Structure 1
Amino acid sequence: MHIEKLVSMANDIADFFNAESDKEIAAEGVKKHIQRSWDPRMRKAIVKYYQDSGEGLSPLAADAVKKLMEMG
């Protein structure tokens, strides 16, 4: 899967959770969704992309990917 598609998917998930006023809870929701729903290769690719530049990720999506990265 192309990284552009993963970025778009992460941003779409973040758009859904963005309605949550507490952005920490929203980022946790995005992270959990990615953990549950994405194949390990997809998770690894988005983390690597975030580490390289993260360009195009919304702030909420980037925060969620950072949390995903921090958990190992």
Structure 2
Amino acid sequence: MSGKNIDNLVSMANQIGDFFAPMKDHRKSMDEIAGHLKRSWDPRMRTALMNHVEQHDGEGLRPIVLEAVRTHKMI
């Protein structure tokens, strides 16, 4: 996936994180972020995001999004 495309995925993932991060229960926030990605994103998008996390340490992702992706294995 090109750099521009991964930048778009990172941006979209961060928007999802921004929506769920204010929840009082951190674990529930991560579950909701991961659940949204699993339900709403095409498998190719999730794979590209996971590759970005593995190859570039999730550069640009908000900490809660990165934690959710690593914890829930989005593929």
TM-score of the superposed pair, with normalisation by structure 2: 0.87
Gaps of 5+ in 2: none
Gaps of 5+ in 1: none
Q: Which runs of 4 or more aligned residues in structure 1 lie more than 2 Å from their structure 2 counterparts after TM superposition?
A: none
Return the alpha-carbon distance in structure 2 between the equivalents of residues 26 and 38 of structure 1: 18
Identity %: 44
Q: CA RMSD in A?
A: 1.5
Deviations along 1:8-64, whole A, 9 cap, x unmatched? Answer: 000000000011011111011000000000000000000110111211100111011
Q: Does 1:32 align with 2:35?
A: yes
TM-score of the superposed pair, with normalisation by structure 1: 0.90
Query: What is residue 8 of structure 1 aligned with on the other side?
Result: 11
Aligned pair count reads 71
